[in-house]
Structure 1
């Protein structure tokens, strides 16, 4: 389970240190892909396999499903940790997530999200104002 919020800088080569608490749960490599609301999603090998399998169960006769699968998988990549506990995020994904310097690493339960710090701050502030409403409406999503 991934929880917490951490702020780290990504260097010009795309290397980002993942917090030790999270890294211990990741194994030797992770998968990075496009997330929602402008973030990147980081999955363990097992988490990626589960996510990928859920994508493969979607009805591919629907154009939206095919498009979604293409957008998620076309830029997905596996990243191994270096000796300093960093992963190297490819330029194409850094552009997707608008990652330039300060990043926010967010535990999202079954995966990690990687946000541009300004985007995260706006997202959090905008949604925190509606926390109670969102909480009440979750039951209606089923």
Structure 2
């Protein structure tokens, strides 16, 4: 399970340090892809297989399903950690998430997200303002 928030920088080659606690669970190879709300998602290879299996269940006759699948799969890239614990994020992904210098890696249960720091702060402030109302609308999903 991935939890926590870690501030980092991304260098000019698109490399970012993956925190040790995330690296331990992610392993040496991982999948990075475009994700929702303007961030990137990092998945273990096993978890990526589950994402893939779920995408295959979507009806290919529905345009929205095809678009969603295209956005997730076409931007996905396999990355591996180097000796310093960094991954190199492909340029098409850093561009998609508007990652330039400062970023935040956020543990989100079954995956890790990489956010531009300013975008994360805006998103988090909005979510914080509405936390109770959001929680009330989601109670039906809890047992």
The TM-score, its normalising length taken from structure 2, stands at 0.96
Aligned to 2:27: 27
CA distance in structure 2 between the partners assigned to 1:27 and 1:141 by the alignment: 31
CA distance in structure 2 between the partners assigned to 1:55 and 1:140 by the alignment: 24
Secondary structure of the corresponding residue to residue 105 of structure 2: strand
- Give 1:139 shift: 2.5
Aligned to 1:69: 69
- Give 1:107 shift: 0.4
Uncovered stretches (5+) of structure 1, i.e. residues with no partner:
none
Secondary structure of the corresponding residue to residue 132 of structure 2: helix
CA distance in structure 1 between the partners assigned to 2:141 and 2:37 by the alignment: 19
- Give 1:42 shift: 0.5
Aligned to 1:113: 113
Runs of 4+ off more than 2 Å: 139-142
The answer to whether residue 131 in structure 2 is matched with residue 131 in structure 1 is yes
Uncovered stretches (5+) of structure 2, i.e. residues with no partner:
none
CA distance in structure 2 between the partners assigned to 1:73 and 1:57 by the alignment: 14
Aligned to 2:87: 87
CA distance in structure 2 between the partners assigned to 1:4 and 1:139 by the alignment: 23
CA distance in structure 2 between the partners assigned to 1:122 and 1:10 by the alignment: 19
CA distance in structure 1 between the partners assigned to 2:36 and 2:122 by the alignment: 14
Deviation track 1:85-134 (CA, whole Å, cap 9, x = no partner) reads 10000000000000000000000100000000000000000110111111
Aligned-residue CA RMSD in angstroms? 1.1
Deviation track 1:39-66 (CA, whole Å, cap 9, x = no partner) reads 0000000110001110001111101101
